[in-house]
Homo-oligomer: A and B are copies of this chain.
């Protein structure tokens, strides 16, 4: 159906906060600038060190942004999902990507060429404000992550990541908050700077204390949220 093709495209622009101040006609103009692409789980979308030519907006799915260290470790910096964008650095500075992006599940993205987006920016300055707003939020998350890693106990870091996931990926059930985990145990470890084994042990402890319940490896039920503070 023809009009469905349009719907599909609209999705990209409609749900994106940075375009939220534009009206319908303006959005339609933008649609023509967009290229879409779909990635499967574990596929690399951007590799650290590459030059970026697009601003990328996630339409559907989840990705992780991470750095690999020389000695084979991995630090996950962000988990991006629907509506989030990345590659914005190349818009102001002509720099290489400072981290890699990998799909955590089937993910469809929208790409806008650097030039096109710069034109949009000068045409609609409010988009710039929205981006600054989003960058500010990202900065605040990073600042909190540093505070956690620098000053908090390992237990507290586990609590924090559980609460963070509960907020972003949790649903309220009668027995508690059910989290659809975006990351594996190893992923969680790489997100908060621990090892897989330590995460595993800490979660087992929490389960023994009846604070959480692990459901397979993909879900966790938080039975008593208040014990995680």
Q: Which A residues have a C-beta under 8 Å from some C-beta of B?
A: 67, 69, 71, 73-75, 77, 88-89, 91-93, 98-99, 122, 125, 128-129, 131-133, 135-136, 138-140, 142-143, 145-147, 149-152, 190, 192-193
A135: nearest chain-B partner, CB-CB: B135
Number of copies: 2
The 23 sampled A-B contact pairs (Cβ below 8 Å) are A67-B147, A69-B151, A74-B151, A75-B146, A75-B150, A77-B143, A77-B146, A88-B136, A89-B136, A92-B129, A92-B136, A93-B136, A98-B140, A98-B143, A128-B128, A135-B136, A135-B139, A139-B142, A142-B142, A145-B146, A146-B146, A146-B149, A146-B193
Q: A190 to B146: give the CA distance in the assembly, Å.
A: 11
CB contacts (< 8 Å) of A89 on chain B: these are 136, 140
**Nearest CB of B to A208, in Å:** 25
Q: A208 to B189: give the CA distance in the assembly, Å.
A: 35
Q: A152 to B70: give the CA distance in the assembly, Å.
A: 10
**Nearest CB of B to A157, in Å:** 10
Instruction: Given A125-B128, A133-B93, A149-B193, check contact A67 B142 (CB 8 Å).
Output: no
